[in-house]
Amino acid sequence: MLTSYFWSGDAIRSRHVSDVVITASLDVPAPSARVLADWQRETTTQLALEPGDVEVMPLARTRMRWPDYPRCVQAMSDWTRTLGLGDALASSDIALMACRGARYHHDGEQYGGAAFCNLFLSEDQGLDLHFPGTGDRVALTRGTAVLFDTAQPHAVIPRHCRGFDAADFVAERDWTQIFLTWELPIEDAHVGHALKVRFDVAPSTAATLDEEQVRLDDVRVTVDPASGQWYPKD
């Protein structure tokens, strides 16, 4: 069993890692030329993104310079309501992110108590969001929305590749993807139901732990950045 151990108040709680990946293609406006230029400057001169990097972008500046930004948030709010999530999106933290691909990883050691809800804002750059554990592969285009378990391994890789290799990201091409991400509380009844999460699957182990982690058959594991396969963590 693949199990996430996460902080719930002052205690560690256990849950199984969901293999549910929910996607949609939403009608969201294209960013203005001014916003695109601002993102380009930020990713190239300030963040200096290398293949595999995922970094936080200045959200306040985008909000100020993009009058259509609220339409993106509204589209996500409308979609998550159709999933039965109620007001979970409106009450959750939001961030603007940039990536130039992404190595295989999981976020269960930092965000084990959350589900990620992402909205991609860039045009199709020939990249897919890949979940090796579930087999899901999502083409990233403007308006792609995804809801998934933070502890489920994932990566952003070129469409015709089977794994992550920095050499595949040739310098002559723009591989950058900009996206909004929300951290939805996994313990919210609506979020847990949408992802079919089972809680308290290993309470005796949870009682012995003092940090978030993911375990496979009760062995703490991490993810190979090239393949997304689990292996024991030292």
pLDDT digits (tens, 9 = 90+) for 24-64: 999 999 999 999 999 999 999 999 999 999 999 999 999 99
pLDDT recorded at residue 234: 80
Global pTM? 0.97
φ, ψ of residue 180 to 5 degrees: the values are -95, 140
- The Cα–Cα gap between 92 and 114 comes to 10
pLDDT digits (tens, 9 = 90+) for 142-190: 999 999 999 999 999 999 999 999 999 998 899 999 999 999 999 999 9
- The Cα–Cα gap between 18 and 25 comes to 22
**pLDDT over 90 at 4, yes or no:** yes
pLDDT digits (tens, 9 = 90+) for 103-141: 999 999 999 999 999 999 999 999 999 999 999 999 999
Which residue type sits at 13?
R
- The Cα–Cα gap between 153 and 132 comes to 7
- The Cα–Cα gap between 223 and 227 comes to 8
220 in Cβ contact with 135 (< 8 Å): no
- Which architecture does CATH list for 21-194? Sandwich (2.60)
221 in Cβ contact with 214 (< 8 Å): yes
112 in Cβ contact with 6 (< 8 Å): yes
Strands (E), the chain: 2-8, 11-16, 22-25, 54-57, 93-100, 102-105, 114-120, 127-131, 136-139, 144-149, 154-158, 176-185, 213-216, 219-223, 230-232
- The Cα–Cα gap between 36 and 97 comes to 14
**Both tokens assigned to 81:** 């309501």
Mean pLDDT, rounded, for 90-100: 96
The band of 224, judged by pLDDT with boundaries at 50, 70 and 90, is: very high
**pLDDT over 90 at 199, yes or no:** yes
Could you give the C-alpha distances from 7 to 20, 43, 82, 177, 207, in angstroms and in order? 22, 33, 28, 31, 11
